Structures are given as C-alpha cells and as structure tokens.
Amino acid sequence: MRSRQRMFAAVMRLILKCLRLGRRRRFKLVRQVEQLWHYGHLCLRSLLYNSFTNSDVVLDSLFEPVYWLVDHVTRWFGVVFVALVIGLTSSIVAIVYICLLPLILQTYTPAWICWHLAYGHWNLIMIVFHYYMAITTSPGHPPQAKDNLTGVSICRKCIAPKPARTHHCSICNRCVLKMDHHCPWLNNCVGHYNHRYFFSFCLFMTMGCIYCSISGWEMFRDAYAAIERMKLLEKERLQVTANQTYYQTPPPTFSFRQRAFHKSVVYLWVLCSSVALALGALTLWHAALITRGETSIERHINKKERQRLQKKGKVFRNPYSYGSWNNWKVFLGVDMPRHWLTRVLLPSPHLPHGTGLTWDLPPCVTKQHTPLLAI
C-alpha cells in the first residue's frame, strides 16, 4: 500500500515538474517573440524615422503614383481639354444665336432686347479674350543665368535659379514665376504673366453660365415639358399603330426642328448650370486666395509655416500681402480709378506689376504692409 502511495506521489511530482518546465518554456518563447518585435520595430523606425514626417507627407507619398499619372496624362491630353472647352462653348453660343435669339427678338420688349444684346455680347467678348490670352501667354520663367539674380536659391530639378514665389512644374518641366498651378483646361501653367487672364476667364465664364441659366429657366421648363409630352405621344402613337382601325387616327408627331429646338434648350440649361456650380466654386476659391495675397501653392506653404511659428509663440505674416483691397488692385493692375473701366471691365493686355523676379512694393500700394514676423 505504501509502495503504491510512493509511486503515485512520484508520478505526480514528475507531472508537476513537466508542467513547470512547459510553463517556463512558454513564457520564454513569449519573451523571445516580444524581444524580436521590439527589435524589428526599432530597426524600422531607425531606417524610416524623420522628424519632418507628418500626415501630409504620408498622404503625398501614398498619392505619388497618382501624381505621376496626372503629370504624364495631362501633358498629352492638354490639347484635348482645350478643344473640349472651345467645342462646348461654341455649341452654347450656336444654340443661343440659332434658337434663343430669334425667340428673344419676337417676344421681348425693346428694353430687354437691348439689355440681352449688350450684356450677352460683352460677356462673350470677355470670355473669348481672356481664354485666348490665358492659353497663349507664357506664365513667365526665370533666366537660366545667375548673373543678374542675387539672393536666389537653385531648383533641385532643373538646376537653375529659383527666385521667390517660383516653383517647378513637373508637367512643363520648367520653373514658373509665381506659379499657381498647371491648368489642363488651358494646356498651360498659371503664373505671373497669365494669372489675371486665368481668373478673369473663370469669373466671366461663371457669369455667362449664370446669365444663361437664369435667362433660360422658363424656356428650359417649357422645353422639358414638351420633351415629356413628345415621349407620351410617341408611346400613344405606337399603341394606336399596333391596334389601328378605320375609325382611329394616330396622334400628331413633332417635327425634327421642334425636337432639336427643345433638346438644345435643355442641353444649354443643364450644361450652363453644371459649369456655373463647378467653375463658380473654383472662382470663389481663387478669389479668397487673391484676397489673402497668395497662390494655391503658397497657401499650403504658409499654412505649415503658420503652424510652425504658432508653436513658438510667433505670428506669421505673408510678406506678399498688402491688405485685401490693395491685393486686388495689385492683381488686376489698377493704378488709378479709370483703370477699373479700361483694365477690368474692358479687354486689356496690360502686364502685371513687376517682373516676377523681385517683389518690390507696387506703386498702387501707398502704405507699407506688416513685416514678416511679429513676436
């Protein structure tokens, strides 16, 4: 009996010893896995750590393939986008002259006819002029020689002088003075010498689309109702034709000219309304940038600089902003009151202030702006 108890006790001690050994091995394996994980994490951070890395850098890195695709596709499809703008605009103008203008001359009063003729043609001239100037005017490029430029940096991509507010366009593969962005609808960069043409085109195109949408609202409703009536009568005509007797006559059919007229009016209103919403939002965005005296690229740069200085208890001041009203005068090239008529409300090919290489105080700004940093 005692021998059995001793044997049972020995077996139990052996089992407990094996359990302790297995537990130790399991804990040792877990510790090894944790050590390998921390070591790998440390190696990864040592290879990839950058004190300047933030969420914007990560997003830019993730979207780098998209940027590459846009750069290469936009370079080849810019002509297609320009042809699309010209084609759509020409179609709207043709519909207005062929379909709407005769109706306006027959139904409107002489005062309204004069208003529509004057405003419509003025708006059209402003759109055509500014779009032509925006696509044909060079945005401006810095000289390749550094002899006449002092205190400028060197572009890392084209190894050329890079004055203030100048940025490299990966699509044009050149540095652009006061670059705002590369516009595929212009097949050209928006920079120092054509920034005003680009914004004016957006503004007058938006105004023209709003004008067409408001003026053609009643015509659009009538045309849409007529198209729905056409569909209903066409369905009834097919039913009558299928079950026709000697005592039934098919409903009257609409002529090709009537169908084309109603569908053209609907096309005009839908296209103008869509462009007015999309281009209007873009115009407001650029108007806000002009009011602050910065470009699209400078907005991101100034935002990061503002956040960096805010952590140090300092306030960032844009050195190229002269106040909201003065910023608009500098952008539009208004030096005297009559320029609001001759340079803003009428087509004008005048050059912007300065050369884009240096940024001295414009003559239209009488008061010195706030310095760059204020502690």
> What pLDDT, on the 0 to 100 scale, is given for residue 371?
46
| 119 domain-assigned | yes
| 29 domain-assigned | no
Residue 118, classified by CB atoms within 10 Å of its CB into exposed (0-12), middle (13-18) or buried (19+), is exposed
Number of domains comprising the chain: 1
> What pLDDT, on the 0 to 100 scale, is given for residue 367?
56
> What pLDDT, on the 0 to 100 scale, is given for residue 258?
82
3-state helix, strand, coil in the chain (%, to 5): 65, 5, 30
Beta carbons within 10 angstroms of residue 33's beta carbon: 10
| 299 domain-assigned | yes
| 230 domain-assigned | no
> What pLDDT, on the 0 to 100 scale, is given for residue 202?
97
Stretch (H or E) spanning 227:
helix 217-242
Closest CA to 178 of 294, 325, 334, 305: 294
**Catalytic residue positions?**
183
Q: Taking a C-beta distance cutoff of 8 angstroms, is the pair 142, 177 a contact?
A: yes
> pTM of the prediction?
0.77
| 370 domain-assigned | no
| 373 domain-assigned | no
CA 159 to chain centroid, in Å, comes to: 29
Separation CA 273–CA 278 (nearest Å): 9
| 306 domain-assigned | yes
pLDDT in tens, the chain (375 residues): 556 667 666 666 666 666 565 555 656 777 777 888 888 877 777 766 666 666 666 776 776 777 677 666 667 788 899 999 999 999 999 999 998 888 888 888 999 999 999 999 999 999 999 999 999 999 999 887 766 666 578 888 888 888 889 999 988 888 999 999 999 899 999 999 999 999 999 999 999 999 999 988 988 998 888 888 887 877 766 665 656 554 455 555 667 788 888 899 999 999 999 999 999 999 999 999 999 999 999 998 888 888 888 888 888 888 899 989 999 999 999 999 999 999 999 999 999 998 888 888 888 786 554 444 433
C-alpha dist (Å) from residue 213 to 102, 122, 204, 267, 360 = 18, 17, 14, 11, 43
Q: Where are the alpha helices (DSSP H) in 101-216?
A: 101-107, 110-136, 195-215
**Range(s) of the domain holding residue 84:** 62-218+251-358
| 199 domain-assigned | yes
Separation CA 52–CA 61 (nearest Å): 13
